Amino acid sequence: MSTEYLRSCALDFAERGWRVFPITPWAKKPAVIDRWETRASTDPDHINHWWRHTPYSIGIATGPSGLVVIDLDTHKYGEPIPDQWAVLGINSGTGVLRALAHQRGVTITPTYAVSTPSGGWHLYYTTPPGVALRNTQSNTRNAIGWKIDTRAHGGYVVAPGSPVPPNGYQLFDDRDPAVLPDWLHQALTPTPSTGLSAPAQTVATNPDSYVAAAVRGETHRVRTAPPGQHNAVLCRAAYALGQLVGAGLLDETTARAELTTAAQVLISADCDCTPTEVARVITVSLAAGARNPRRTTPSPHRRRAA
């Protein structure tokens, strides 16, 4: 890839208002080691200087550029797939994002899109006015889902046209980036700490009432699952009750029986649900939830004296 071509690409991105900086050739690390985010620029003089002689790849500082980039990664050989996705035959960030959108009755908003060297995707969205989002990793609390990272303030992406092995970053859809959809914005917005602690305290102070309500709620969701979402809804419900099983708040036999009874509606519906498939989904999802127990806090009157 010629220096002239990369410089031209960098200038094009700058015209869009995206702040760029040089990336080490054939790699993904900033060539501007110190303060790359603040030094990223739309100034043609800076860009012409950086790309004067060296065929640097192009980095885009997402936060200062007003961008949130959804990074959809792929499954690597030998890597375990979480049960809640394996049971649905999903093995990539793209599949997870589609499933999450489907569960919410929405579609993935078309936007500026780039294919990545690993076979994944970068979906570029603009940040809603007045919003300052940070990066997320797929294993953090505010992540959208498995194999889905985001790049916003504090992060960058390698731009299309950059020759990173094996296949480089290639532009797929050149439309202007859409505004980040509300459901993705909500998923990436940190939940206030008071909102996190309230459910846990409810479990600790009145576990029987909480568990009964949880069982009623999850089984109701199963019985009323819309066509085309039976497996997904049953999987989520079994996972949620499995978390209570793992926390020692619900007996596994009871959870399995309640879910199986509720799922009879799915089996009798005009779809592909079978008793064998329902039993498999319940077993796998209960086990997955039990490995990630619902967190509880001790009741105040049970705390030990200091």
Whichever domain contains 59, its CATH number is 3.30.2250
Q: Are residues 211 and 99 in the same domain?
A: no
Q: What is the rounded distance in angstroms from the CA atom of residue 50 to the CA atom of residue 23?
A: 10
Evaluate whether residue 272 is within a structural domain: yes
Evaluate whether residue 306 is within a structural domain: no
Q: Are residues 177 and 211 in the same domain?
A: no
Q: Are residues 67 and 143 in the same domain?
A: yes
Short-list 115, 119, 151, CA closest to 133: 151
Evaluate whether residue 305 is within a structural domain: no
Evaluate whether residue 298 is within a structural domain: no
Among 154, 172, 188, identify where a domain stops: 188
Q: Are residues 205 and 173 in the same domain?
A: no
- pLDDT less than 50: residues of the chain: 192-205, 297-306
First-to-last alpha carbon distance for the chain, in angstroms, is: 66
Evaluate whether residue 301 is within a structural domain: no
Which pLDDT value is given to residue 208?
67
Q: Are residues 166 and 278 in the same domain?
A: no
Q: Are 50 and 22 in contact (CB under 8 A)?
A: yes
Looking at the whole model, is its pTM more than 0.75? no
Say how many domains are in the chain.
2
Q: Are residues 158 and 262 in the same domain?
A: no
Evaluate whether residue 303 is within a structural domain: no
Among 125, 159, 188, identify where a domain stops: 188
Q: Are residues 182 and 238 in the same domain?
A: no
Which residue type occupies 261? T
CA angle 123, 126, 131 (to 5 degrees): 125
**Does the CA dihedral 123-125-127-128 come out positive or negative?**
negative
Which pLDDT value is given to residue 21?
96
Q: Are residues 150 and 223 in the same domain?
A: no
Q: Are residues 137 and 202 in the same domain?
A: no
Evaluate whether residue 138 is within a structural domain: yes
Q: Are residues 161 and 68 in the same domain?
A: yes
Contacts of 10 (CB under 8 A, 6+ apart): 20, 47, 50, 51, 58, 159
Evaluate whether residue 150 is within a structural domain: yes
* Residue-range definition of the domain harbouring residue 55: 3-188
